[in-house]
Chain A
Amino acid sequence: MRPDDLSRRTLLTAGGALAASLAMPSILRAQTKEIVVGGPAGAAKYFNEAVFPAINKSLGVTILYEGSNSLTNLQKMQADRGAPKFSVVIMDDPVMIKAADEGLIVPITAKGSPNLDRLVAGAVHRDGMWANYQRPWAGIAFNSKTPAPASWADLWVPANKGRVIVPSIQNTEGFWNLLVAAHLETGKPFAEAQYDIDAGFKKLKSLVPSLLNVYTNAPQAMNLLEQGEASMIGGQFSAYTLTRKAEGAPVDLAVPKEGGFAMPSGIAKVKGGPAPDLADAVIDAFLGPAVQEILVEKAVVAPTNTATPRPAGFPDPATLFAPDWAFVARERGKWAERWTTELL
């Protein structure tokens, strides 16, 4: 778990979830219509304040949320594989791929969750093993007192030396800079450049002298950007940057001319998890327009249900590049090793 994930709310929720799962047999829990959902800690605030109350109102289900990061949740699911605590899990696609490969999740069906059939193209993966309930978009986050970067190449501009931050390859958004570097180095489109990782490392190496830091902890990086210590964060995304902007912070998100990227936010049903029917209903709610409208406003993300209106100024999800996450998931361990030995 990342240190920033340990908010009091997260701890309380996690503690509550633990107490509930220890103290109550599953039958009693089913009667009280209560389920545990695991997901990203960064979303805990708007999930608990807006999304869960709405689901509770429409379905009468109380959701206990355990916020952590995707990789930590995967580790937990593996550890309680015999008696899962989560009914539903919310994770990024590269981690979903691992969860599916390790047999920790089961497919969502249109019978249990009818909204599955109403999603935009490419939002349902592996015949319903998981689905994207939202699409945050990634670009370059910048301090709004400085001009917006027009191209991804601006990260390399000497004027920004010592003021650029990039995410670690350990974070999902860490892949974008590697991909952009491969594209800039080879001139190939993203769809081809994504497999040319050697070129990406070569180009990224020339960015190292410009780096202020490589973050694993997004709030700290955002804080430095807001204070003006950093001028740009390459590969940051809407659900993080634009929510801070909405709160009044002097930051904004640019989609450079080469294009932006679709962040993958998946929801899945845990294999053998408690209250499977409630899990179907909660997943259906996340895939439905009512919850997605809340997410569009609170998390600043593109919706995936075709019936959810897309607000002005939101990029068309069809123009955002979505990479081959299966390739990323398979190779990321190796890249992580190269990242630390070659770049840092």
Chain B
Amino acid sequence: MIALLPPIDRDRRVALLLSGPAGLILLALFALPLGLLFAVSLQAPPGTPPGPSLAAYERLLTTPHHLGAVWNSVKLSLAVTVLTLLVGYPASFAIARAKGRWRSLMLGCLFLPLSASVIVKAFAWTILLRSSGIVNTVLLGLGIVDAPVRMIFTETALIVGAVNVFLPFMILPVYAVVAQLDPRLSEAAATLGANPAAGFLKVTLPVTMPGIVAGVALVSALSVSAYVVPTLLIGERYPTLASTIAKAYLLTREPAFGAAAGVVLLVIAVAIVVLSSRLAREGRA
């Protein structure tokens, strides 16, 4: 039957058939729960007439404290994404240009820490940054400070720790693109009269843009929803959307409020991904 159809239709049908199982799984495990989440977020608060209500969203987005949690999540995501990109982009080139043993060593340095749990890394940062930790010892030894600086449970510690945890997720997609990059492209640009800066902006950057977009999407989505890293590195004093969700479901038992925070988190994550890919498209055009 399929064989008798014109080639384009046949391709389409085959594609549809092949994507069927994955589509069903996504529908059952992703679309359906998301729909439920959205439905729960619209539940009226107890003691008010039943029916759809935006009360949970109103509370989340108008109370200064909860709005602060939304902003903290966005701020953390922005800071971590920008810093991982600044550190990760040149690092990807270093790995791609390295040869043989050096490249293996660099990739090892990138992959090995991924096998350590994020909890271990968060604890390690607490040890490094505490008043008798190595960072304070070095600062004191060099005479930069006179007394140990309080670093643990500060926003700086959180960002440093989060950059450390999420850096591989920026480097890997960028590296994957850079490794495919023909080094002769920038030589060709130079031959045609472009200075190094112009060569980079007009040739290298646009060509590596898909890697950057993938890295930005991954890191920003991971860091905007981070729960363990902020919990361990800064604690309750820095409420985030993720901690708001946990508290609403577990402590105050307000599923509508937790679900609304979940929907807002999802909207932010999707917005970041859509925006970054649109920016990339415009950058290439």
Are B236 and A162 in touch, CB under 8 angstroms? no
The verdict on A217 contacting B126 (CB below 8 Å), with A336-B252, A340-B65 known, is no
A213 is contacted by which of B127, B235, B251 (Cβ under 8 Å)?
B235
Are B123 and A3 in touch, CB under 8 angstroms? no
List the 7 shortest-distance A-B pairs measured between CB atoms, nearest first: A333-B252, A71-B250, A344-B237, A214-B236, A229-B130, A3-B228, A341-B65
Are A332 and B251 in touch, CB under 8 angstroms? yes
Q: Measured between C-beta atoms, what is the minimum distance from B213 to chain A in Å?
A: 30
Residue of B nearest to A339 (CB): B236
Residue-wise interface mask of A (122-146) relative to B, using a CB-CB cutoff of 8 A (1 in contact, 0 not):
0000000000000000000000000
Are A75 and B236 in touch, CB under 8 angstroms? no
The verdict on A4 contacting B119 (CB below 8 Å), with A162-B150, A217-B231, A223-B126 known, is yes
Q: Measured between C-beta atoms, what is the minimum distance from A98 to chain B in Å?
A: 8
Q: Does B132 sit within 8 A of A, measured CB to CB? A: yes
Residue-wise interface mask of A (203-244) relative to B, using a CB-CB cutoff of 8 A (1 in contact, 0 not):
000000000111111001001100111000000000000000
Describe B's contact surface by its main secondary structure: helix
Which among B130, B236, B252, B253 has the greatest number of chain A C-beta atoms within 10 A?
A: B236
Are B132 and A229 in touch, CB under 8 angstroms? yes
Query: Within 8 Å CB of A168, what residues of B?
Result: 235-236
Are A213 and B231 in touch, CB under 8 angstroms? no
Residue of B nearest to A212 (CB): B153
Query: Within 8 Å CB of B152, what residues of A?
Result: 212-213, 224, 229
Are A224 and B119 in touch, CB under 8 angstroms? no
Q: How far is the CA of A189 from the CA of B252 in the complex (A)?
A: 28
Residue of A nearest to B150 (CB): A162
Q: How far is the CA of A229 from the CA of B237 in the complex (A)?
A: 18
A170 is contacted by which of B118, B228, B247 (Cβ under 8 Å)?
B247
Are A75 and B251 in touch, CB under 8 angstroms? no
Q: Does B239 sit within 8 A of A, measured CB to CB? A: yes
The verdict on A336 contacting B251 (CB below 8 Å), with A228-B132, A344-B237 known, is yes
Query: Within 8 Å CB of B228, what residues of A?
Result: 3
Q: Measured between C-beta atoms, what is the minimum distance from B158 to chain A in Å?
A: 12
Are A227 and B130 in touch, CB under 8 angstroms? yes
Q: Does B232 sit within 8 A of A, measured CB to CB? A: yes
B250 is contacted by which of A75, A212, A215 (Cβ under 8 Å)?
A75
Q: How far is the CA of A339 from the CA of B253 in the complex (A)?
A: 17
Q: Does A72 sit within 8 A of B, measured CB to CB? A: yes
Are B231 and A3 in touch, CB under 8 angstroms? yes
Are B235 and A216 in touch, CB under 8 angstroms? yes
Are A217 and B251 in touch, CB under 8 angstroms? no
Q: How far is the CA of A52 from the CA of B239 in the complex (A)?
A: 39
A-B contact list, 23 entries, CB within 8 Å: A3-B118, A3-B119, A3-B228, A3-B232, A6-B119, A71-B250, A75-B249, A170-B251, A212-B152, A212-B153, A214-B235, A214-B236, A214-B237, A215-B235, A216-B231, A217-B231, A224-B152, A227-B127, A333-B251, A333-B254, A336-B247, A340-B239, A344-B239
Are B126 and A344 in touch, CB under 8 angstroms? no
Residue of A nearest to B227 (CB): A3
Are A229 and B65 in touch, CB under 8 angstroms? no
A sample of 5 more A-B contacts (CB under 8 A), given A333-B252, A344-B236, is A98-B253, A213-B235, A229-B130, A229-B132, A341-B65
Q: Does B131 sit within 8 A of A, measured CB to CB? A: yes
Query: Within 8 Å CB of B127, what residues of A?
Result: 227
Are B253 and A217 in touch, CB under 8 angstroms? no
Q: How far is the CA of A333 from the CA of B254 in the complex (A)?
A: 10
Q: How far is the CA of A263 from the CA of B131 in the complex (A)?
A: 33
Q: How far is the CA of A6 from the CA of B127 in the complex (A)?
A: 21
Residue-wise interface mask of A (34-50) relative to B, using a CB-CB cutoff of 8 A (1 in contact, 0 not):
00000000000000000
Which among B65, B130, B132, B251 has the greatest number of chain A C-beta atoms within 10 A?
A: B251
Are A220 and B126 in touch, CB under 8 angstroms? yes
Q: Measured between C-beta atoms, what is the minimum distance from B230 to chain A in Å?
A: 11
Query: Within 8 Å CB of A339, what residues of B?
Result: 236
Query: Within 8 Å CB of B132, what residues of A?
Result: 227-229
Residue-wise interface mask of A (301-341) relative to B, using a CB-CB cutoff of 8 A (1 in contact, 0 not):
00000000000000000000000000000001100110111
Contacting A at CB under 8 A, from B251-271, are 251-254
Residue-wise interface mask of B (120-161) relative to A, using a CB-CB cutoff of 8 A (1 in contact, 0 not):
000100110011100000000000000000101100000000
